Amino acid sequence: MLIEHPCRQVPDDFARRWMSDDYMDLIVWLEPDGGFHGFQLCYDKTGKERALTWKAARGFSHHAVESGETNPNANCTPILVADGHMPVETVRREFARRSSKLDPEIRELITKRLDEYGLHPHA
Name the DSSP class of 77.
P
- Give yes or no for a contact between 110 and 27, defined as CB atoms under 8 angstroms apart: no
Phi/psi-derived region of residue 77, left when phi > 0, alpha when psi is between -120 and 50, beta in every other case: beta
54-93 confidence digits (pLDDT tens): 999 999 999 988 776 555 565 566 656 666 678 999 999 9
Whether 19 shows a pLDDT value over 80: the answer reads yes
Q: Which residue has the higher pLDDT, 14 or 72?
A: 14
pTM: 0.86
Q: What is the mean pLDDT of residues 4-12?
A: 93
100-119 confidence digits (pLDDT tens): 999 999 999 999 999 999 88
- Give yes or no for a contact between 62 and 52, defined as CB atoms under 8 angstroms apart: yes
- Give yes or no for a contact between 85 and 122, defined as CB atoms under 8 angstroms apart: no
What confidence score (pLDDT) does residue 27 get? 97
Of all residues in the chain, the percent with pLDDT exceeding 70 is 83
Q: Give the C-alpha separation, 34 to 104, whole Å.
A: 14
Q: Give the C-alpha separation, 76 to 34, whole Å.
A: 34
Whether 123 shows a pLDDT value over 50: the answer reads no
